[in-house]
Amino acid sequence: MSEHPSPESLHRHRRAPEAPSAHPAPLEIRDGMIRLGQALKLANLVEDGADARAVIEAGLVQVNGDPETRRGRQLHPGDVFEFSGEAVKVVPSGS
């Protein structure tokens, strides 16, 4: 069983939180929905699902400006999620 870092150490190893950019990076999805944990991995904001779970449960991720602690939170085109100063907007594939 591999040991994963604590949410605090994950947060420390990333750069200090900053105000998200006015233009979030786009994250294209093929289907009409993606789960928050998957989106964090796809956007390369965390290394794996265990890291995604840790930072989400620690309340370090925001969705549309509100803290989110549910890894299974469904994101749809137009939703913006933020972690450690990085903002990402979910967009439909091909846009």
Domain hosting residue 79, numbered range = 35-95
Is 10 inside a domain boundary? no
Q: What is the DSSP code string of 31-92?
A: SS-EEHHHHHHHTTSSSSHHHHHHHHHTT-EEETTEE---TT-EE-TT-EEEETTEEEEEEE
Q: Show the tokens assigned to 79.
A: 């939703």
**How confident is the model over 68-89, as pLDDT tens digits?**
999 999 999 999 999 999 999 9
Share of the chain above pLDDT 90, in %: 71
Residue 15 has what pLDDT? Answer: 42
Tell me, yes or no, whether 60 lies in a domain: yes
Domain-embedded: residue 4: no
User: Domain tally for the chain?
Assistant: 1
Give domain status of residue 66, yes or no.
Answer: yes
Q: Which of 18-32, 35-49, 52-66, 75-89 has the lowest mean pLDDT?
A: 18-32
CATH of the domain at 95: 3.10.290.10
Asked whether residue 88 is assigned to any structural domain, the reply reads yes
Q: Does some domain include residue 79?
A: yes
